[in-house]
Amino acid sequence: MTAAVRRLLKELQDTQNDPSEEIVSLAPVDDESILRWRAVLRGPRDSPYEGGYFELRIDVPEQYPIRPPTLVFVTPVCHPNVHFETGEICLDILKTQWSPAWTLTSTCLAIQVLLANPEPSSPLNCDAANLLRCGDVVGYKSLVGMYTLMYAQLPETLQ
């Protein structure tokens, strides 16, 4: 059993023993590989994402936790730091600021915090970022709210 598998089994057990209100679901996709996970995050309260549910695909490298997992949104998300078509997330802990101290749970929670606290200076979605840069918070929240209503309903598998 590799170090990555041991670590992921422990994280799975921790997730099951101490569920998070913000994370609706976090588990391996199937029994075939513990390196492929799926998460569903609840939209942050008091944000335009509130009421939405956002699915993430998580691919864990064999070198985990030394190397970071790759997380992408499966649910289309309108956010300055998320590529609308690919689901790629611009977040420093997924790249240069990764540390083995991060877990899949803490990484998902960091992404949930990012939803409520966009950083328009490093955008993957320039349209959303430009609304914030121009100070059009009402327009930004309306756009995000519309996409949340359109795409971020609770997945049938969790209903």
Active site residues: 90
Q: Give per-residue burial for 25-42: e unless 16+ CB within 10 Å, then b.
A: bbebeeeeebbebbbbbb
24/152 Cα distance (integer angstroms): 13
Q: How far is CA 98 from CA 64, 105, 154, in A?
A: 11, 14, 30
Inter-residue contact 68 to 102 (CB < 8 Å): yes
Inter-residue contact 143 to 131 (CB < 8 Å): yes
Residue 141 is given by DSSP the state: H
Type of residue at 17? N
